[in-house]
Amino acid sequence: MPLVTFYFQLHQPFRLHPERDKFLWEEQNRSIFRKVAEKCYLPATEMFAELVTAHPSFKITFGMSGTFLMQAELYRPELITLLQKLYEAGAKNRQVEYLDETHYHSLASLFEDPQKTEFRDQVAMHREMIERLFGFSPVSFRNTELMYTNE
């Protein structure tokens, strides 16, 4: 039987406040994240943990933006705990992978910068967050929306 690995992208942007004298729209960010977490992130993560435990050949990969992880920490920290448990459940058979990516799910790799400073900074920021939350460094990288450039 051919190997199939399921891949899911977890991203939530921070919404800007419609009033120009304010920056982030805290109420909307919290409300939307909690609603999506309740309907999707929490039950799906629990389901994947069950699948990984029950089926040693089941593999899954997640790309999680830094803004998603920040909001999870702020608004539903139990989601971080579930993601930690999911990773641990698949550790023995290497069934769960969390990818490295840009922190802000950004287009920084396309910037006109020969040193790619912003891009490298965002990848480093994301890697540090994954290390802090999950205790390891990702081994694979996924650029925003799977963008590619020869540079």
Catalytic residue annotation = 145
DSSP the chain: ----EEEEEE--PPPBPSSTT--B-HHHHHHHHHHHIIIIIHHHHHHHHHHHHH-TT-EEEEEE-HHHHHHHHHH-HHHHHHHHHHHHHTTTTT-EEE-B--TT---GGGSS-TT-HHHHHHHHHHHHHHHHHHSS--S-B--GGG-----
